[in-house]
Structure 1
């Protein structure tokens, strides 16, 4: 069962599952707790998994004004503190990975390790142009279904479109009772278009695993490799046949890899205490 947690001026919707070392899951553009269902189900035997709806998504309200990544990182910190979690392994995908980077920079004491899926340090010109195309597609699409059909071409592999997975995700999204408004979606997107951690990633001390999908048209592998190069000691791996969200398309493979990484991070944490 989920509940709202007070974090600053926000009431942030959170859900937890399992027992063990703490893990915080941070979703991307417009994604809610439900995007992490395979992890909430598949890793709860080993970890206490916490996921939450970012501001302006799902059951968490969007405050007035333009959101910033810094504010969203503080939201994540507020969730951990509100749940009395002293530190957690943090995993984020896409925009959530940028929030995770900023969380590790602003609140390093809360971050035991980092998994950054489909990440970047600053949008290059290609990604900014793609983001602008998403922006006008969201504004001009004839309906929500048409927009999702376009947007998910950038998120999932042809395999997932052809085997019916994407169709099921679209139907679920259209039936979801807490849909994000187009305005909040665009404000969320705008926050990432102007944000950069490139000059500061060297300050991150948490063990870090950077994962990229080999056929991801947005967070291209070279962007993730650049992030890993800037974080001291970071590991970088490409899942060659995957796109933007392998934690949904191949959850068993993804869960096994991050579980291995978290176990290594736990051993390192124990040795340095």
Structure 2
């Protein structure tokens, strides 16, 4: 197990492949295994760095809350620790918020960026979704049930109507050998709910692809349009199929869009 103590926290990380460096930043409550299906393809072209944000996986869980800027400082410090910068980076959901903070505050270590299913700030609906997830976890509801409830926000009807596939996906998530603790989830959620990148995005000059799925109901396309309009060097791409978990549901299309942009 590779670890790095950076920015006052110990982070677990892995590298795979050869080529230009590519940092992958996972979403809320997710550890680096969220990228398991993508790493084999991406590592054919890149040196892929996956890591567990503070609070999840095999990384430390210091007392929260964790500001999004703190998570971005962690990621930037890891890149400097590995001496791989400037790197390309993909941030998914919360990871896209972390990457926005990096674009604003650590742009010199980034060569290109992809904001996947991202958002500049939470809407009232997203806040209600977050509060519901926190309530279920605080009530100690079975993780399998929590996962099933959350999937309606992540997948499209194509998967949601296939109960066998859905059950297998939920069981896979519930059987994670490194489950996220309530403390870690709460600490990440506390920082995410108050983050707003909009005032500072115009100062982020790194070339950026804002990538969304037309069927995403958790982070609607309108939020990607808003980010792209604020970033000076952004391209917007909306795939016709896929929701918030488009990387899992339509991996070929999603990875092709990412690799086409990163070159």
Map of 1:176 onto structure 2 = 176
Map of 2:195 onto structure 1 = 195
**Alpha carbons of 1:126 and 1:65: their partners in 2 closer, same or farther (altered >3 Å)?**
closer
Deviations, residues 200-238 of structure 1 (Å, cap 9, x unaligned): 000111111111122212111001110000001311121
Map of 2:54 onto structure 1 = 55
> Which piece of structure 1 moves more, 71-80 or 116-125?
116-125
Map of 2:217 onto structure 1 = 217
Instruction: Give the paired residue count.
Output: 262
For the 8 Å contact 1:114–1:206, the answer to whether it is kept is yes
Deviation at 1:127, TM superposition (A): 2.1
For the 8 Å contact 1:141–1:147, the answer to whether it is kept is no
Q: Using structure 2 for the length normalisation, give the TM-score.
A: 0.94
Deviation at 1:163, TM superposition (A): 6.5
Deviations, residues 100-127 of structure 1 (Å, cap 9, x unaligned): 0001111111111110011111112232
> Which piece of structure 1 moves more, 250-259 or 44-53?
250-259
Q: Using structure 1 for the length normalisation, give the TM-score.
A: 0.91
Unmatched segments (≥5 aa) in structure 1: 264-273
Map of 1:260 onto structure 2 = 260
Instruction: Work out the CA distance in 2 between the residues paired with 1:163 and 1:249.
Output: 14
Deviation at 1:141, TM superposition (A): 5.8
Instruction: Work out the CA distance in 1 between the residues paired with 2:246 and 2:223.
Output: 17
Instruction: Work out the CA distance in 2 between the residues paired with 1:168 and 1:58.
Output: 21
Aligned alpha-carbon RMSD (Å):
1.5
Instruction: Work out the CA distance in 2 between the residues paired with 1:169 and 1:259.
Output: 26
> Which piece of structure 1 moves more, 29-38 or 166-175?
166-175
List structure 1 segments (4+ residues) > 6 angstroms apart after TM superposition.
Answer: none
Instruction: Work out the CA distance in 1 between the residues paired with 2:11 and 2:99.
Output: 17
